[in-house]
Amino acid sequence: MYGITLRVWGDSACFTRPEMKAERVTYDVITPSAARGILEAIHWKPAIRWVIDTIWVIKPIAYSNIRRNEVSDVVSFTDVKSCMKSVSDSGSASPLYLDPQEKRQQRATLYLKDVEYLIQAHFLMTENAGADDTAEKHYNIFLRRARRGQCYHKPYFGCREFPVNFELVEDTSIFTPIPESRDLGWMLYDIDFKKNMEPRFFRAQMHEGVVQIPTVLHAEVNV
């Protein structure tokens, strides 16, 4: 295993609880799947699979809320096909739009503010690894990109409007988790893509600011 530690921080974050339907309510800390998404934004290939080991909560957990105007619908695939067909048949497009005045609705979001975490993770080689794919190669690629602040797309904390700042951590001794322990309840670990997109949950516990991810989940869930 080639392990890494990444410091991530930002002004806001929202890791939405799936049991909340109409309104967005965040988990207390970052979820393993959101942490994996940050690492994949820096470096990912089909040859590797990122596994989250522990999450350190560096800054105190604080909340805020916002209310925004959103739309309750999207332009359907059927409408797009109909528009394309009208262009090919008559040369002119049928109307294709979404009226925000008719579809507008207000939704509240309970989110985290001023967050900072240390993500400790490792990656495993997958069955898609080729002859040129080695663990050392991908490890060095990640280190190089993380040190330079490079990423394939800008990582975010749950929602794209909450961007992530990140840096590689070479020495964890300069960081101290918050002195708090709490039961975080049932938290989303990840989506098992090989089992009909089945969500997998675990009972998350934070001990002195550190969330340990059960190792049994690493082999059970295919992401």
Clarify whether residues 22 and 124 are in a common domain.
Answer: yes
- Residue 145, H or E segment: helix 135-148
Would you state the pLDDT for residue 129?
86
Stated pTM of the model: 0.84
Q: Is 85 helix (H, G, I), strand (E, B) or coil?
A: helix
Taking alpha carbons only, the member of 5, 44, 18 closest to residue 126 is 44
**What's 163's DSSP letter?**
B
Q: What is the dihedral of CA 12, 14, 15, 19, to 10 degrees?
A: 160
Separation between Cα atoms, residue 155 and residue 42, nearest integer Å:
8
Clarify whether residues 148 and 202 are in a common domain.
Answer: yes
* Average pLDDT, integer, range 15-21: 87
State pLDDT tens for residues 87-142: 766 766 667 777 777 777 888 999 999 999 999 999 998 888 888 889 999 999 99
Clarify whether residues 77 and 125 are in a common domain.
Answer: no
The CATH number for 137's domain is 3.30.70.2660
Q: Is 171 helix (H, G, I), strand (E, B) or coil?
A: coil
What is the number of structural domains in the chain?
2
Clarify whether residues 113 and 210 are in a common domain.
Answer: yes
Match 């339907």 to its residue by tokens: 21
pLDDT-derived band at 216, boundaries 50, 70, 90: confident
Match 């990912």 to its residue by tokens: 44
Clarify whether residues 159 and 205 are in a common domain.
Answer: yes
Would you state the pLDDT for residue 93?
63
Clarify whether residues 205 and 142 are in a common domain.
Answer: yes
Clarify whether residues 39 and 61 are in a common domain.
Answer: yes
Q: Which structural domain range is residue 85 located in?
A: 70-104
State pLDDT tens for residues 22-63: 788 999 999 999 999 999 999 999 999 999 999 999 999 999
Q: Which residue has the higher pLDDT, 133 or 74?
A: 133
